[in-house]
Every structure is written in C-alpha cells, then in structure tokens.
Amino acid sequence: MRIVLLGPPAAGKGTQARRLAARFGVPHLSTGEMLRVAASSGSPTGLRIKALIDAGNLVPDADVLAMVAERINEHDASGGYVLDGFPRTVGQSEALDLLLAAGDHALDAVVELRVDVESLLGRVSVRAAAAMAAGEDVRADDNPESLRQRIETYLAKTKPVSDHYRRAGRLLQVDGMLEPDGVEHAIAIALGQVASMVG
C-alpha cells in the first residue's frame, strides 16, 4: 500500500499517517521527522536545514528527493509506505512519479486532509503545550511567526500538489476538522476499506 497524505501544517497528518501505517503494516515516512534528525547532526548541512525548518521555509527539493529516494528503496518499504510531508512541491510530485515508474510501482491513494487555515494556530498551540506537559522538546517551528510562514509556503508551494493529483484523478479529500478517530474513519471510507477496518 503506497499512500500520500497531504494537508496544511498541523492538519494532523502525522497522527493519521501513523494510524494508516499501523493498519497496513507499512512504514510511516515523515520527511519532517527525517529532516529534523538531519538538522540535529550539527554538520554544516544540518545547520543549513535547521535554519530553513525553523523559519518555516522548505528544504531544497534536491536534498529531500535524495533522502526519500534512498528511504523508499530500503527493504522495509518494499511493500509500501505512508508518505507524510512529501511531496511538498510540484517538482517533488513529478520526481515521485518518476521514482515510482522506475520501480514499476504506483500510488494506491493520495489523501488530502482539509482543515480551516484559521484553526491551525490553535492546533499548533495545543501541540506545543502537550509536548511541554510531556517533558518533550517543543518544535522550534511551532510558534506563531514560523507557522505563519509555513502556511504561506503551503499555500504557494504545496496546494498546487493537490491540483497535480486532482488532475490525475487521484485525489481523495477528507474532512480534517473532525476528532482524530473521526478523521481516521473518514479516511477509511475514502479508501473503501471501512468494512475491514471496523471488522
């Protein structure tokens, strides 16, 4: 099962991607998480990536593509994966099409979580407070200023990715404003899997 999860920052992609990955027994591949690991290395490349992430800007396609191409060729991803945070530009979606075609694979589904942009700041505040309460680090980009930039970047660069898949007749849209269980259920319906997920 090869699934792409699209949606604005803090839409709940991570939560749903983890659930889908568990459901289908495939790895959850979050480019945000991979990049945060790369950013924490302290190397010159890591520092460059960290500065981009913290400001709410995108990491260049070439860096992300190299990372994803390597990751999806690993053994545990041979039966599929849930991609969270990728593709984030039309260039990345075209590159993914080529990568898939080269492996004689295709995406099974592209799911977009639809969330009101006005609710995103509240969601980020909740996430930051939850991390703090759990004694975890708060993401450096989970602050109002970076979030504003992340939303702007999303509207300019990532929204067109949905159009790319819509044109290809591949886009499934789901209401991301529901509670997590409700969103999971809506995704299951969209995937036509609801019977097996409930049963």
Active site residues per annotation: 13, 88, 123, 139, 150
Closest approach of ligand ADP to the CB of residue 126, in Å: 13
Question: By CB under 6 A, what part of segment 8-37 binds ligand ADP?
Answer: 9-10, 13, 30-32, 35
Give the residue with the Cβ less far from ligand ADP, 24 or 86.
Answer: 86
Asked if 80 interacts with ligand ADP (CB under 6 A), we say no
Give the residue with the Cβ less far from ligand ADP, 16 or 30.
Answer: 30
Record the tokens describing residue 104, joined without a space: 């004689």
Residue with the two structure tokens 């970047």: 153
Asked if 176 interacts with ligand ADP (CB under 6 A), we say no
Sheet hosting strand 109-114, strand order edge to edge? 28-30, 81-84, 2-6, 109-114, 171-175
Give the residue with the Cβ less far from ligand ADP, 141 or 184.
Answer: 141
Which of 58, 109, 111, 113 is the binder for ligand ADP (CB under 6 A)? 58
Asked if the bond preceding 87 is cis, omega within 30° of 0, the reply is: yes
| Contact between residue 82 and residue 143 where contact means Cβ atoms under 8 Å apart | no
| Contact between residue 99 and residue 69 where contact means Cβ atoms under 8 Å apart | yes
Q: What letter represents residue 24's amino acid?
A: F
Give the residue with the Cβ less far from ligand ADP, 91 or 194.
Answer: 91
Question: By CB under 6 A, what part of segment 107-146 binds ligand ADP?
Answer: 141
Residues in the chain: 199
Nearest 10 degrees: CA dihedral of 124, 171, 107, 113? 20
- Residue ranges binding ligand ADP (CB under 6 A): 9-10, 13, 30-32, 35, 52-53, 56-59, 64, 85-86, 88, 92, 141, 150
